[in-house]
């Protein structure tokens, strides 16, 4: 069975690149009950962007899920390139008639989203939601 269509186990891929401080970057893709959750872990910046983007868009194309959740709870840093990826994922979901939201960004990432006036567009979910 294709791991991106499984409903019981996450598809976990280590990305080969490292962030600027040498930390690895991880992406989990979990599909359950019509929802795909893309969870980024580490620093979402230019060193991790190409591979993060590839896995995320592959998940969007291959799952057919109606709801897209981008879990940012373990992202320690998000550059402008990372914010751009979030916008592109959100727009791709919207253009294909899907719903998307950003789940639980850490305070620094939430502040970057707010300062760039992207909170509403990205449909940022509160911590308690």
The pTM for the full model equals 0.82
Structural domain of residue 82, as residue ranges? 3-125
Burial of 60 (0-12, 13-18, 19+ CB in 10 A): buried
Residue 95's Cβ-count burial label (10 Å; 0-12, 13-18, 19+) is exposed
Express each pLDDT in 25-49 by its tens digit.
888 888 888 899 999 999 999 888 8
Alpha-carbon distance of 38 to 56, in angstroms, equals 7
Please give the pLDDT value at position 123: 96
CA distances from 90 to 6, 23, 37, 76 (A): 23, 26, 13, 20
75/27 Cα distance (integer angstroms): 10
Query: In the chain, what is the greatest distance between 2 CA atoms, to the nearest angstrom?
Result: 43
Burial of 10 (0-12, 13-18, 19+ CB in 10 A): middle
Give the model's confidence band at 21: pLDDT under 50 very low, under 70 low, under 90 confident, else very high: low
Average model confidence (pLDDT) across the chain:
84
Give me the number of domains the chain comprises: 1
Tell me the H-state helices in 25-116: 49-63, 80-95, 107-115
CATH of the domain at 44: 3.30.750.24
Among 50-59, 70-79, 115-124, the range scoring the smallest mean pLDDT is 50-59
pLDDT at 23: 63
pLDDT of residue 5 exceeding 70: no
Res 104: pLDDT: 95
Q: H-helix or E-strand containing 43?
A: strand 35-44
Q: Can you give the pLDDT at residue 89? A: 96
């Amino acid at each position: 069975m294709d791991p991106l269509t499984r409903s019981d186990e996450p598809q976990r891929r280590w990305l080969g690149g490292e962030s600027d401080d040498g930390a690895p970057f991880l992406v989990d893709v979990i599909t359950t009950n019509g929802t795909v959750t893309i969870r980024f872990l580490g620093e979402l910046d230019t060193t991790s962007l190409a591979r993060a983007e590839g896995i995320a868009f592959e998940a969007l194309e291959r799952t057919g899920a109606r709801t897209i959740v981008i879990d940012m709870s373990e992202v320690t840093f998000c550059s402008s390139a990372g914010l751009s990826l979030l916008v592109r994922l959100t727009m791709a979901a919207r253009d294909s008639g899907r719903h998307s939201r950003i789940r639980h960004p850490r305070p620094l990432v939430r502040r970057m989203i707010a300062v760039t006036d992207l909170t509403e567009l990205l449909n940022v979910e509160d911590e308690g939601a």
